[in-house]
Amino acid sequence: TSAASPTLDPTPDLADSTLVRAARRQPVPHTPVWFMRQAGRSLPEYREVRKDVAMLTSCRTPELVTEITLQPVRRHGVDAAIFFSDIVVPLQAVGVDVDIVAGTGPVIAEPIRTRADLDRLPELTPEHVPDITESVRLLTAELGGTPLIGFAGAPFTLASYLVEGGPSKNHERTKALMHGDPQLWSDLCARLAQISGAFLRVQAQAGASAVQLFDSWAGHLSRADYLRHVEPHSRSVLEGVADLGIPRIHFGVGTGELLPAMADAGADVIGVDYRVSLTDAVERTGGRYAVQGNLDPALLFAPWSALEARVREIVEEGRNAPGHIFNLGHGVLPDTDPTVLTRVVELVHEISAR
Ligand code: CP3
């Protein structure tokens, strides 16, 4: 950071990383690649560290967060680390009684369904999450030239867990609240937008080089409902961190119909799942955004020749995008062979080198 002793300053300029450059639609020496859920049960070293530690305990223990986040970077040589945490961590930090049940997901002891419930959900301040600041600082010191992606859950996806009380297939209570009491819904999402935005800001201020907003379940909404009841709140999160000057990635699953709205909500990069081709995603978003994706995570179980052909297609499509970050369409499945992931990283680097 000082011009006085450039040779003694080991701080690499992460603005020059392939991830940040691709997100900014600048030329890159090769296509950057990382995988959602790259840290996790596909790695034996992760299962080892997590053996006797509950999920949320591991997320709040800086030494464990650092080790788990670094594991896939060491093993696969990916171009970015994703902060090891969970979308419910900021909720737990403000006092929500939440547990992550293995094989199920987040379970909320007292769901939020009334005005009185909402009144018990505080805003998030940095004082709620000193451990997150510490984890990010430890991590960025270890990561050197590899950028760290911070993340948060988007208001709709968080609201779904809070209103349903846990994972949901149909989101019926959530949609009933959205339509039955639009004012309460809007107030709940505004509170969640504050929490998510503050959580992203803490990570960015501690050293994250990019942020990703996960609206994993937005694909369950019609476009009209998304635009009216959800987009304003996601926009408030994304626009609220615009001043940090780092790229913002906006991701959801099954969001083919929502891609233009999700991109225009304030993203630099739009996450694309495997249901829509990158070419179509670029067209639908007017060629104005970098794209991230979009290998079907199930294809990691296919014979290498089939997988290789698909990776090549995605890299080719990505060449015609304004910017491309190679990723899966959704998270790594727990039974994935991690050696296949390493091979995919090597292949993407090799065939995209320019
Ligand atoms: O490597 C990474 O991608 C970083 C870590 C990460 C986790 N959760 C760790 C985790 C990220 C980015 C998340 C976000 C998250 N959490 C989302 C959005 C991303 C997505 O997948 O759409 C959602 C919807 C959640 C809620 C959640 N947490 C679910 C559905 C589950 C899975 C439950 C299960 O056991 O199948 C979790 C738990 C969770 N979060 C695990 C991990 C590694 C598994 C816990 C374990 O190892 O036992």
Closest residue by CA, ligand 1 atom 38: 105
The yes-or-no verdict on residue 167 having pLDDT over 70 is yes
Residue 212's pLDDT is: 98
Residue 216 is assigned to a ligand binding site:
yes
Q: What would the pLDDT profile of 35-55 be if each residue is shown by its tens digit?
A: 999 999 999 999 999 999 999
Domain ranges for the chain, please list them: 14-352
**141: DSSP letter:** H
Ligand 1 atom closest to residue 69's alpha carbon, by position in its atom list? 1
Quick one: CATH architecture of 14-352? Alpha-Beta Barrel (3.20)
Q: How far apart are CA 195 and CA 123, in angstroms?
A: 6
Cα end-to-end span (Å), the chain: 29
Whether the per-residue pLDDT at 62 is higher than 90: the answer is: yes
Cβ atoms of residues 149 and 212 within 8 Å: yes
| Phi and psi torsions of 21, nearest 5° | -65, -45
User: Residue 335: CB within 6 Å of ligand 1?
Assistant: no
Q: What is the pLDDT of residue 11?
A: 60
Residue 3: pLDDT above 80?
Answer: no
**Contact status, residue 262 vs residue 255, Cβ threshold 8 Å:** yes
Number of other residues whose CB lies within 10 A of the CB of residue 342: 15
Reply yes or no on whether the pLDDT at 8 is more than 70.
no
Q: What percent of the chain has pLDDT over 90?
A: 96
Pairing of strands 105-108, 148-153: unpaired
Query: Tell me, what's the pLDDT at 354?
Result: 82
The answer to whether the beta carbons of residues 202 and 96 sit under 8 Å apart is no
- pLDDT attached to residue 1: 42
For 21-65, give the secondary structure using H, E and C.
HHHCCCCCCCCCECCCCCCCCCCHHHHHHHCCCCHHHHHCCHHHH
List the structure tokens of 302.
Answer: 């296919």
Of residues 1 and 235, more confidently modeled: 235
Reported as a pLDDT band with limits 50, 70 and 90, residue 344 is very high
* Closest to 290 measured CA to CA, from 332, 328, 319, 311: 319
Q: CA 327, CA 346: separation in Å to the nearest integer? A: 13
- Ligand 1 centroid vs 102 CA: distance in angstroms? 10
Per-residue confidence (pLDDT) for residue 6, from 0 to 100: 45
Long-range Cβ contacts of 179-182 (<8 Å, 24+ apart)? 182/229
Query: Would the pLDDT of 202 be above 80?
Result: yes
pLDDT score of 254 more than 50 = yes
Ligand 1 centroid from CA 283, angstroms: 30
With a 6 Å cutoff on the Cβ, whether 102 touches ligand 1 is yes
Any atom of ligand 1 within 6 Å of the Cβ of 46:
no
Average the pLDDT over 162-191 and give the result.
98
Q: What is the pLDDT of residue 12?
A: 75
pLDDT, tens digit (0-9, with 9 covering 90-100), for 263-300: 999 999 999 999 999 999 999 999 999 999 999 999 99
pLDDT value at residue 5: 43
